[in-house]
Amino acid sequence: MDKQDLIHRIESSYKRMSKGQKLIAEYILNNYDKAAFMTASRLGEVVGVSESTVVRFANVLDYEGYPKLQKALQEMIRNKLTTVQRIEMSSELDQSQVLRNVLKADMHNIRQTIEEINNEDFNHVVNRFLQAQHIYVLGLRSASPLAQFMGYYLNFIFSNVKIVTSGVNDIFEQLFHIGEGDLLIGISFPRYASRAIEAMKFSKEQGADTVAITDTMLSPLTAYADYSLLARSDMASFVDSLVAPLSLINALIVAIGQTKKTQISTDFHKLESIWADYQVYVEKGKS
């Protein structure tokens, strides 16, 4: 569902709308960034019509209820909202319900990810990790912590992992040696970092295999990915929801670890001795 399709639906249906429905249409066309995250009752309140009028408006546009219309609106603006617009949007949230609403939204993102994930692609990606000569994990801006987390655990399994993120060296300098037989994992969510897209394209041109961890097949990363693993990141405000992406990354690490269980067990026995000798962790019973 793109912006033009939604606008076309509104424009083609406008003449047969009731007066109240036309008010909703005009509000959405002028304030779609705010309307996308309003409940039907809240949208009706802002426009000055009943909740049932909002529901009928969705039906006029051939959506099966208001939630379908709202999802179309959200998809339309996902990568277009500025941080200022996200802050304005979050002002619609009931302060007393913020904790509950954010946790519920994160739960919804995980449920959607479970339903939409391609298990066959997931298994192909796991196997590609095992075959790669070198593994590059790319994450910029808000995706940087995801790349750091993934790289941290992959380094317990492999000796050929490089985390690529913003730092002293330019991204392309960090990817200078990438080539055939290597694997790049590119992580990016709305608003997509342009440098991440360029890095995916560069790595593909160098002959490396590429995997995108992103939100939808409409993501610009998928154009340069051999495989795309999708995780929902719908946001409740200016903060990106990275719960589902992190859960997906957890699943990848666990799946890879299962295939190298014996080696990992041996390595961790050695690590436990090192950690104990150098008091890396607080021992039980001590404070």
Q: Which of 18-32, 74-88, 145-159, 244-258 has the lowest mean pLDDT?
A: 74-88
In the beta sheet, which residues pair with residue 227?
211
> Distance of CA 107 to CAs 40, 101, 178, 217, 270, Å?
21, 10, 37, 21, 37
Q: According to the model, what pLDDT value does residue 287 have?
A: 55
* CA-to-CA separations, 149 to 140, 242, 248, in angstroms, rounded: 13, 12, 12
Residue 174 has what pLDDT? 94
Q: What is the pLDDT of residue 234?
A: 76
Token pair in block for residue 271: 């690590």
Residue 78 has pLDDT above 70, yes or no: no
The more confident residue out of 76 and 158 is: 158
Tell me, what's the pLDDT at 163? 96
Mean pLDDT of 102-127: 91
CA distance linking residue 182 with residue 113, whole number of Å:
27
pLDDT at 105: 82
Question: What Cα–Cα distance (Å) separates residue 47 from each residue in 21, 31, 54, 106, 166?
Answer: 10, 11, 10, 29, 44
Residue holding tokens 């990915």? 225
Mean pLDDT of the chain: 87
| pLDDT value at residue 14 | 87
- Residue 89 has a pLDDT of 53
Whole-angstrom distance, CA of residue 108 vs CA of residue 96: 20
Task: Dig out the tokens for 73 from the structure.
Answer: 């609106």
Q: Do residues 165 and 138 touch, judged by C-beta distance below 8 A?
A: yes
- Residue 257's pLDDT is what? 93
Query: For residue 1, what pLDDT is reported?
Result: 41
Is there a contact between 31 and 24 (Cβ–Cβ < 8 Å)? no
Locate CATH 3.40.50.10490 in the chain. 113-259
pTM of the predicted model, to two decimals?
A: 0.71
Q: Which residue has the tokens 């990275």?
A: 242
Report percent pLDDT > 90 for the chain.
55
Which of 92-96, 120-124, 170-174 reaches the highest mean pLDDT?
120-124
Peptide bond into 191 cis (omega under 30): yes
pLDDT for res 99: 84
Angle of the 19-35 helix axis to the 51-60 helix axis, nearest 10: 90
Query: What pLDDT, on a 0 to 100 scale, did the predictor assign at position 29?
Result: 82
pLDDT at residue 253 tops 80: yes
CATH number of 113-259: 3.40.50.10490
**Contact status, residue 249 vs residue 150, Cβ threshold 8 Å:** yes
Q: Which single residue is written with the structure tokens 């394209």?
A: 201
240 in Cβ contact with 248 (< 8 Å): no
Tens-place pLDDT, residues 154-188: 999 999 999 999 875 789 999 999 999 999 999 99
Residue limits of CATH 1.10.10.10 in the chain: 3-77
Is 75 a residue whose pLDDT tops 80?
A: no
User: Can you read off the two tokens belonging to residue 12?
Assistant: 């083609």
Cα 124 from chain centre: 20
178 CB-contact burial (10 Å; exposed 0-12 / middle 13-18 / buried 19+): buried
User: At residue 188, what is the residue type?
Assistant: S
Is residue 3 very low, low, confident or very high in pLDDT (cuts 50, 70, 90)? Answer: very low
Rounded Cα–Cα distance for residues 127 and 151 (Å): 17
What average pLDDT does this structure show over 100-114?
A: 87
Looking at the structure, give the CATH architecture of the domain made up of residues 3-77: Orthogonal Bundle (1.10)
Q: State how far the Cα of 37 lies from the Cα of 60, in Å rounded to an integer.
A: 20
Q: How confident is the model at residue 2 (pLDDT cuts 50, 70, 90)?
A: very low
Percentage of the chain beyond pLDDT 70 is: 89
Cite the DSSP H helix spans in 91-225: 98-116, 119-131, 144-157, 171-174, 194-205
